[in-house]
Amino acid sequence: MNTQNLDALDWIILVAYFVVLIAIGMWASSKAKKSGNMFLASRSLRWHHIGFSMWGTNVGPSMLIASASAGFSTGIVSGNYAWYAFVFIALLAFVFAPRYLGTGISTLPEFMGLRFGDSTRNILAWYTIVTILISWLALTLFAGGIIIRQVFGMPMWLSAMLLLAISAFFTMLGGLKAVAYTNVYQMVLLIIVSATLTVVGIWKLGGDSFSHGIAVLANPDVVPSDYWNLFRPNTDPGYPWLPIILGYPIMGVWFWCTDQSMVQPVLAARNLSEGQRGANFTGWLKILDVAIYILPGVVCFAMVKTGFFGNVQVNADDAYLKLVYELFPAGMVGLVLAVLTAALISTIGSALNALSTVFTMDIYVKNIRPKASPEEIRKTGRVVTVLGALVSIVITVAVDGIKGMDLFNVFQSVLSFIAPPMAAVFLMGVFWKRCTTLAANMTLTFGTVLSIGTGILYLWVIPGFSEMVHFMLLSFFIFVGLVAMMIVVSLYDMNANEKHVIVAVNEKPARSVIIAWVSLAVVMIALYVFFNGN
């Protein structure tokens, strides 16, 4: 795909969208200066706000494109990452949320500081920087680079640089404030677009008949029957059932229970009951992921098989935008690209800001120059932002070099090597009072080097490593090894910190909360039974 696919009307809408966002950003900046900080936490969120916020954070534009890619390559089996998640969202609701709210913390490093002390909190700051660079910056730049590459034909490194440059320019003009104000509406628009894309795609696939389109999708000569299975044999190279069962929980605990951006809405809940209901609502919303994010990829695959696009071959990572270009009229294409790009810029800008904030406040001011002046802090923040941007470009290009995986699997494989240390420390810290500071610190240092180092060997260095063991299973083995190390170190540590006790909210779940979660579990089990009969 290249610029000739964009109509003049698309360009007009694309430019106009960003002009409007910049205008809103400048207005928002002016209003913020007059009214002060309007984002102070008030711990007043209701369950629906929590649910939509958690789901919206999870299903951004990067995941949208990646999910369609997975649907094109392998069908709905990647839906395990959406539907299996309800178990770990429940873990957040009933195990972690009572402790988070009981201690009154605002950040998860603060929680670790209460449990293990300041040294653990400091180490966690470095871990957070690594996580931001890889999961929020590099992977977002990679997904955005695919869009830029499709539209303009640029190489990945140049696409990443362009996105970073646009983000910096947009930030200076107040554009990120506009995106913050309009993020909810943009997510709603993306959801509507994806749902429309699915419906129109099925309708077109069936020759202007929705029912015939469904029949085409159900035809095993067009779409292989295993495209509709959530569990595949252990001989399957992409999604064998055992690595999913054992490996996804590591990523699930890390992402849903310990990632600040995901847990933040629960921390701002009015009370524990609202937080538990909000988490439950997120679980219900996750059911939609397969229909509106993965199914478009399956539809695109069916269109290729039936010759809908002629003799044109489609790469899995191009599936989502291919449908947008082919099924939407001029003007609508420009709007979709504008919303996708704006959402990507929001994530990139927020990640760079978070990177700068964590380093300057949690590392530079706290440990290097406690008496640093505001000007020194600002200069340090700018230097860290530039360095972080450069490092993220290098990581993005490296991620682009991963071969033999679609975009979705690239995302999951990279994240699976970030998750084990954090999952181990939080689970052991919550469930085992005997776990010591030394054990936690060793896991967050040695464990992180081990886990990410293994990932580098697995994805880039050793040919054939990925054929010997699935990345999810390897993530599980690393996690088990780290837990074993924590147990041994804690038992032999003479400075056991039993005084670091976490206080939980002493409140039984409301009857309505129990009913909601049992209902969700029943529906999820039914979905798994239904989508494993082919």
pTM for the full predicted model: 0.86
Average confidence (pLDDT) over 481-509: 79
* 421-456 confidence digits (pLDDT tens): 999 999 999 998 889 999 999 999 999 999 999 999
Cα 517 vs. chain centroid, distance in angstroms? 23
Which CATH code is given to the segment(s) 43-164+224-328+357-530? Answer: 1.20.1730.10
pLDDT at 5: 65
pLDDT at 336: 85
Top-confidence residue, 477 or 175? 477
| CA gap 268, 105 in Å, rounded | 10
Nearest in space to 425 (alpha carbons), one of 482, 345, 470: 482
Is the pLDDT at 86 greater than 70? The verdict is: yes
Look at residue 388 and give its three-state secondary structure.
helix
Rg (the chain; Cα; Å): 23
Look at residue 45 and give its three-state secondary structure.
strand
Is the pLDDT at 9 greater than 60? The verdict is: yes
Is the pLDDT at 80 greater than 70? The verdict is: yes
Segment among 79-83, 98-102, 258-262, 530-534 with least mean pLDDT: 530-534
Is the pLDDT at 34 greater than 60? The verdict is: no
Is the pLDDT at 299 greater than 90? The verdict is: yes
Nearest in space to 160 (alpha carbons), one of 413, 2, 352: 352
Average confidence (pLDDT) over 170-182: 58
Is the pLDDT at 181 greater than 80? The verdict is: no
* pLDDT band of 4, cuts 50, 70, 90: very low
* 339-363 confidence digits (pLDDT tens): 888 778 777 877 787 787 778 877 7
Cα 106 vs. chain centroid, distance in angstroms? 21
| CA gap 517, 281 in Å, rounded | 9
Is the pLDDT at 151 greater than 50? The verdict is: yes
Residue 107 main-chain phi, psi, to 5 deg: -130, 155
Kindly state the tokens that stand for 261.
């951006």
Sign of CA dihedral 342, 345, 349, 350: positive
pLDDT at 88: 97
Is the pLDDT at 338 greater than 90? The verdict is: no
Other C-beta atoms within 10 Å of 480: how many? 14
* 270-291 confidence digits (pLDDT tens): 889 999 999 999 999 999 999 9
Nearest in space to 400 (alpha carbons), one of 40, 149, 68: 149
Average confidence (pLDDT) over 320-338: 88
Segment among 18-27, 40-49, 113-122, 172-181 with least mean pLDDT: 172-181
Cα 286 vs. chain centroid, distance in angstroms? 13
Segment among 153-167, 324-338, 366-380 with least mean pLDDT: 366-380
For 94, half-sphere exposure in the C-beta direction (CA atoms, 13 angstrom radius) is 15
pLDDT at 39: 38
Per the prediction, the chain carries an average pLDDT of 85
Segment among 21-25, 106-110, 138-142, 337-341 with least mean pLDDT: 21-25
**Residues 6+ positions from 54 with CB-CB distance below 8 Å:** 262, 265, 266, 278, 279, 282
pLDDT at 502: 66
Would you kindly state where each structural domain of the chain is located, as residue ranges?
43-164+224-328+357-530
Most confident among 239-243, 309-313, 484-488 (mean pLDDT): 484-488
* Whole-number percent of the chain with pLDDT over 70: 90
Is the pLDDT at 503 greater than 70? The verdict is: no
Average confidence (pLDDT) over 480-504: 81
* pLDDT band of 77, cuts 50, 70, 90: very high
Top-confidence residue, 273 or 154? 273
* pLDDT band of 38, cuts 50, 70, 90: very low
Average confidence (pLDDT) over 76-105: 92
* pLDDT band of 461, cuts 50, 70, 90: confident
What is the C-alpha end-to-end distance of the chain, expressed in Å?
Answer: 35
Is the pLDDT at 107 greater than 90? The verdict is: no
